[in-house]
Amino acid sequence: MAPGAAPLPLRPAGAAGGRRPPRRRLGPVGAALQLLGGLRVRLRARSARSAGAAGREAGLGTGDPRGGGRAAAEAGRHLVGQPLVRQQVMKGVREFLKNPNPAKPLVMSFHGSTGTGKTYVSSMLIRYLFRRGLQSPYVHHFSPIVHFPHAEHIEQYKENLKRWIQGNLTNCGRSAFLFDEMDKMHPGLIDVIIPFLGPSWVVYGTNYRKAIFIFISNAGGEQINNVTLALWRARKDREEISLQDLEPAISKAVFENPQSGFWKSGIINDHLIDFVVPFLPLKHHHIKQCVINELVQQGLEVRPDVIQEVADSIPYFPEDEKLFSSTGCKTVCKLCDLKHFTDSFLAG
């Protein structure tokens, strides 16, 4: 039946083979109510079918937190050098998925410089929550460069984004939305999704409060690095850094920056972000662990000389002390490939 079409009349019990009773004419109001009633029934049925499909896709059912537990455990094992991420993201996701009736969607914002694990953590969570990972029909990934490139079309982008999220949340309340490169998002655009982030967005029986929203941004990365370096010089170990140590720097760089996608955003003013997550710069021993993980993943021999050579080939800052990686673990994969190719060529 086409969406919006009037529901087909049901044949009364005992009427088979006999004359059908005359149909009572409906006035305009009665016809409209009948149409709306049929639409609500179809939307509820479609939502129920989609929720079941999403549960099977996610391996969660309608509140089974086992997928979230696996995600948290796996990301915790492989995530290198990010204690604040473990404290906030893993615990937050686990508790959110355990709750069969959360008060609002889970909203997280990841901040840090390149290669510190923002994309890795988000993709890891999605991969363990949805069987098809980023290819799942219930996972939606947005990039401002790809989806919202032109500032002069911002009003059309707002309408498109609002309709896309509303349609997909109506189809499946247990959806995930990833917004990459928020530092390149046109200011004001993201506010169109505010109605979907709060505690009261339930329409036609669809519980939008089970959705997950993740914002990813390099904004604040330089400030996080500077604070981490200053605290190290003040003899505060990197693992002792708290969120309170970093919040002022992140706020100034991200939420008070006219070039940021969160500039004067109601998302910030209405406190709709549950977790603002800083990703710290990585030290030399963290890079070595990244190299080990990469070699294992590629099925290559884990040799100490290879680990040392790859870790030493990455640039570090500050120039005189070389404490933290300038590119995180971002180039580790390519460097391992290059090392393997060079060794194979020389050996053969």
DSSP for 6-18, written as a single string? PPPPPPPTT-TTS
Domain ranges of the chain: 66-278, 284-347
Per residue in 70-128, pLDDT (tens digit) is 655 665 667 889 989 988 898 899 899 999 889 999 999 999 999 999 999 999 899 88
Whether 117 and 75 have beta carbons less than 8 Å apart is answered as: no
pLDDT value, residue 280: 96
Whether the predicted pLDDT of 7 surpasses 50? no
Look up the pTM and report it. Answer: 0.79
How many residues does this entry show for the chain?
Answer: 348
Whether 48 and 173 have beta carbons less than 8 Å apart is answered as: no
Q: Would you give the distance in Å from CA 311 to the centre of its chain?
A: 29
Cα(first)–Cα(last) distance of the chain, in Å? Answer: 66
DSSP letter for each residue of 109-158: EEE-STTSSHHHHHHHHHHHHSTTGGGSTTEEEE-HHHHS--GGGHHHHH
Q: Measuring CA to CA, how many Å separate 167 from each of 37, 156, 162, 175, 178? A: 19, 16, 8, 11, 16
Domain 66-278, CATH number (from 3.40.50.2300, 3.40.1390.30, 3.40.50.300, 3.40.190.10)? 3.40.50.300
Q: Measuring CA to CA, how many Å separate 72 from each of 99, 129, 179? A: 16, 10, 21
229 is written with which tokens?
């370096």
Pairing of strands 202-203, 176-179: unpaired
pLDDT value, residue 348: 62
Per residue in 11-63, pLDDT (tens digit) is 233 333 434 434 444 444 344 334 334 434 343 444 445 555 555 565 453 33
Whether 82 and 243 have beta carbons less than 8 Å apart is answered as: no
Whether 345 and 337 have beta carbons less than 8 Å apart is answered as: no
Whether 219 and 111 have beta carbons less than 8 Å apart is answered as: yes
169-185 burial by CB neighbour count: b if 16+ within 10 A, else e?
A: bbbbbbbbbbbbbbbbb
How far apart are the C-alpha atoms of 71 and 173, rounded to whole Å?
20
pLDDT value, residue 275: 94
